[in-house]
Amino acid sequence: MGTKERRRLELEETRSKILHAARDLFIEHGYEEVTMRAIARVIDYTPTAIYHHFENKQALVSELCIADFDQLARHFLKAASIADPVERIRSIGDAYLEFAVAYPNHYRFMFMTKFPMEDVVTHKAVHDDPERDAYALLRRACEEAIQQNRLRPEIENPDELAQILWGALHGLISIHLLKADKGYLHLTDLKTTADRTIDILIRGMLRDNGK
């Protein structure tokens, strides 16, 4: 390995350390409370070293969001290729759950951490692109199912349906991520309960019992 290649790998490793530390801090303390100096302290770097890689906190968060949403998008590759929109919705739900279970900290950062939108545009690079935006992919499937008259007649708005489906699954996942260590709750198996939730939602939205 040459000097240039070794240097490139070292830079990538450093950026990865910074991003991982920043994600954990944002989840624990919130965006407003985390400083570049705090991130540097966690990984035993100087603030100057952090600024060598990221101009400011906004640039750091933007890259973190792009990386995490790209990783989420890779989980949806199989679902995106399914022709039947109803089966695609089911597969999207499965992929969303798999991602949350496999990458709980990524999930907390992406969907359970608040950022001031005037400061950080978290979806700018992926918004409205069904190949990279999970919501756009789900909305398109809902829209196609409505257009094909597969759903109950009162279901006319693809955004409303997408938000009902997303909200139900996100709520279930959030309960498990936030309350799993609370002894007073007897949480059921997440995968089993999520599968049942998806099945109930799909059965409930289909026209004429799915015919």
CA atoms within 13 A on the CB side of 122: 15
The superfamily (CATH) of domain 1-54 is Homeodomain-like (1.10.10.60)
pLDDT, tens digit (0-9, with 9 covering 90-100), for 89-142: 999 999 999 999 999 988 988 888 877 654 444 455 555 666 667 888 999 999
The superfamily (CATH) of domain 64-210 is Tetracycline Repressor, domain 2 (1.10.357.10)
pLDDT, tens digit (0-9, with 9 covering 90-100), for 49-76: 899 899 988 888 888 888 888 888 888 8
Predicted local distance difference test score (pLDDT) of residue 127: 58
In the chain, where the domains are located: 1-54, 64-210
pLDDT, tens digit (0-9, with 9 covering 90-100), for 158-167: 999 999 999 9
State the maximum Cα–Cα separation within the chain, in Å, rounded to a whole number: 66
Q: Is the dihedral of CA 155, 138, 148, 199 positive or negative?
A: negative
